[in-house]
Structure 1
Amino acid sequence: MAHTEELRRLLSKIAEEQNYKNPEIIIKDISSGGANYTSTLHTAIIKAKNKEDLHLFAKIGAVGEKMRSEVNVNFFDTEQYAYLTLFKSYAALEEEHGVPEEHRLPYVKMYGFDNTLYKETLVLEDLTAQGFGSFDRFQPMDWEYAAAAVTECAKLHALSFATSKQRPEEFEKSQEVLKTAWETLKLEHLIEKTMQNALKVINPQHKKSFEKFASQNISKMVEKFYSPINAKIITHGDFRGNNLLHRVREDGKVDIRVVDLQTLQGGSPPADLLYFILTGTDEKFRAKYFDRLVEHYYSQLSAAMRRLHLNPHEVYSKEVFDQELKEKLPYGLALILFLLPIVTIAPDQAPTVDHNLDMSSFTVQNTSDLFSERLNGIINDYVKWGILK
């Protein structure tokens, strides 16, 4: 109740800034269905006479002392920096280079922010009122959605490349702000539990090769997944369906908005791409579209870089990209081992989002049938790719 009242005060301030006189403010709590573990989520409508209803979305921090002591990331400062500084800089770059409107990275409008410790609040436009929604993580992904999402990922990365080349001081400053110390995360207990879950469901013919892979330092492999190799850019860090909003137009085109910017960090371009593929697609999709989606990413990245007057062959060639993708691929399996139980968890089994949440909360005990199906599909692919032997 206390947080709701604080949200109401922030919304009242926003109403005043937007010239809503004597506003009526309606707040509704919503659930992420097990897709968000750092915030409580709310929608709000601000109403006033002779004004269109203002539809807003609010996130209130639910990261308590336990989680903050274990994860050396200030989620809400990162997101505030993204909306107030980084994306404004990206928009200015697009304007400077005359990027056509249809090829610009679409941004979600931020209306307000409260950085009170333990009660951090971010208020954005509510895109659900415009027909956007989250991708259903329990359903198979189709090409149209995947291609549209990867196109936006490529735009995001191209803007980071442009910043690093054309505004190097600004880029270096962003790297300091968005620094993530993966080596400080205590993943061992989480990984141990995840291995136990995995071994219960992995098909017998692959258990030996999986156990051999799992005998490596998985925590170190996760760190390497995120670390840059040759090219360092700002990556999303959690680029998956639940952090993207989409809608399908009448002509069938898919519009994507990239949200949940709490994990922005310096990293390698293939990391976001592989993260998206491994957390959101099934074996059938990858058999048909994996190579095509990889090619689509690089072609879109190249096109976006050219619109920003960069030469992709000089800045980030296809040969370098292919090599980095190959190097990152084994680390992707390490990452997915503890991500997949959370990504596929049933909403009624998801950890409670409150200030008692800590890293141990993510040791899912009751994995879903989808977890078994997706994990075995990924294991089959890693055998096919020659990584599990």
Structure 2
Amino acid sequence: MNVMPLKFAELSVQQLARFHALSFIIEQKRPEYFEKKIKSLKPSIQYGDDYVEFCKNMYKVSSNRLSNEIKDKIDKKADEYMKNYLTGHKTDVKCLCHGDYRMNNILLKLTEGEITDVIPVDYQLMYYGSPIVDFLFFIFGATDKEFRRNHFVHLKDMYHETMEQYLKYFDIDIDIVYPKKKFEMDFEDNLEFGLELNLYIAPIIFTLEDDVPDFDKVDLLEVKVKLDDRYYERLQGVVDDMIEWGKL
């Protein structure tokens, strides 16, 4: 429920950049392994009737306090939003993605009360896809409007700079792998994933602690949630961002 501390975000973004860079390194240094073991990995969520209905059900809850004007705008793009969310968006540049890169899946080390190191865990949802989506999933999963206003651009730049430096250790030029201009274009083109994430999956994250659904016992289409009030403020902040960025 909390907004992540900046230091935690910086260290986590750097780790994500190195993880993605490692995929590009394997692609160049071990191409056969890359083709067989990495490029073949599919997302755990596949676009289909069940997940479309799940998204629709979550949207009924998530949009509950949005203005009619905003709901009308979202409704006009609902099919596009759901398909984009469920297929992970499209970018020409792809790599091995974590698939669930959020605060809950990152261990942190405290030294005298200060965050000094982080270690990502829980790689069971890895897939071959867009690195931008992995990054946006992390940012929009645990930040609010104020945090993004102050640190979003900084973290985006840190991600690309970290990747550039890591690739240099292996004599790989980032301008060949993921040029800054291409990265910026992909980033701009996929910003709406932040809204989709908050409409369709964040309700699960913001479910009241005593009311978390047991997915082993409940059918996907029967999942119901009761949301913490902080969710609606968080979602409105995302909506405000999308309007400011010309995405809504």
TM-score by length of 1: 0.60
| Cα separation, 1, equivalents of 2:146 and 2:26 | 37
Aligned to 2:160: 298
Aligned to 2:221: 360
Contact 2:62 2:203 (8 Å CA) reproduced: no
SS in 2 for 1:257: strand
| Cα separation, 2, equivalents of 1:284 and 1:217 | 28
Aligned to 1:383: 243
Equivalenced residue count is 247
Contact 1:279 1:339 (8 Å CA) reproduced: no
Q: How far 1:142 sits from its partner (Å)? A: 1.9
| Cα separation, 2, equivalents of 1:150 and 1:141 | 12
Contact 1:234 1:266 (8 Å CA) reproduced: yes
Deviations 1:116-171 (CA, angstroms, capped at 9, x unpaired) = xxxxxxxxxxxxxxxxxxxxxx1122211110110110110110010011111111
Aligned to 2:230: 370
The residue identity in structure 2 corresponding to 1:377 is: G
SS in 1 for 2:117: strand
Query: Greater strand share, 1 or 2?
Result: 1
Map 1:224-303; keep pairs closer than 5 Å. Answer: 224-227=87-90, 229-250=91-112, 252-303=114-165
Q: How far 1:361 sits from its partner (Å)? A: 5.1
Distance 1:282 1:257, change over 3 A: same
Q: How far 1:222 sits from its partner (Å)? A: 1.3
Deviations 1:246-281 (CA, angstroms, capped at 9, x unpaired) = 122238343111111111000111111100011111
Deviations 1:285-306 (CA, angstroms, capped at 9, x unpaired) = 0111111111111111111111
| Cα separation, 1, equivalents of 2:69 and 2:34 | 48
Map 1:325-364; keep pairs closer than 5 Å. Answer: 325-352=187-214, 355-360=216-221, 362-364=223-225
Q: How far 1:185 sits from its partner (Å)? A: 6.7
| Cα separation, 1, equivalents of 2:89 and 2:19 | 16
Aligned to 1:152: 15
Aligned to 1:322: 184
SS in 2 for 1:255: strand
| Cα separation, 2, equivalents of 1:293 and 1:244 | 17
Distance 1:145 1:184, change over 3 A: same
Query: 2:3 aligned with 1:140, yes or no?
Result: yes
Distance 1:251 1:232, change over 3 A: same
Counterpart pick for 2:55 among 191, 194, 201: 191
Q: How far 1:205 sits from its partner (Å)? A: 5.2
The residue identity in structure 2 corresponding to 1:152 is: Q
Q: How far 1:359 sits from its partner (Å)? A: 1.8
SS in 2 for 1:196: helix
Distance 1:264 1:187, change over 3 A: same
Contact 2:99 2:127 (8 Å CA) reproduced: yes
Map 1:71-110; keep pairs closer than 5 Å. Answer: none
Contact 1:225 1:335 (8 Å CA) reproduced: no
Query: Greater helix share, 1 or 2?
Result: 2
Deviations 1:333-383 (CA, angstroms, capped at 9, x unpaired) = 223311110111121010125x3243235442x122021111111111111
Contact 2:167 2:174 (8 Å CA) reproduced: yes
Contact 1:164 1:171 (8 Å CA) reproduced: yes
Q: Percent of counterpart pairs with the same letter?
A: 29
Q: How far 1:385 sits from its partner (Å)? A: 0.7
TM-score by length of 2: 0.91
The residue identity in structure 2 corresponding to 1:359 is: L
User: Which of the two has higher C-alpha Rg?
Assistant: 1
Distance 1:305 1:185, change over 3 A: farther
Deviations 1:219-246 (CA, angstroms, capped at 9, x unpaired) = 311134355x222210001110011111
Q: Which has the higher contact order (CA 8 A, sep 6+)?
A: 2
Distance 1:199 1:252, change over 3 A: closer
| Aligned-CA RMSD value | 2.0
Map 1:210-221; keep pairs closer than 5 Å. Answer: 210-214=74-78, 216-221=79-84
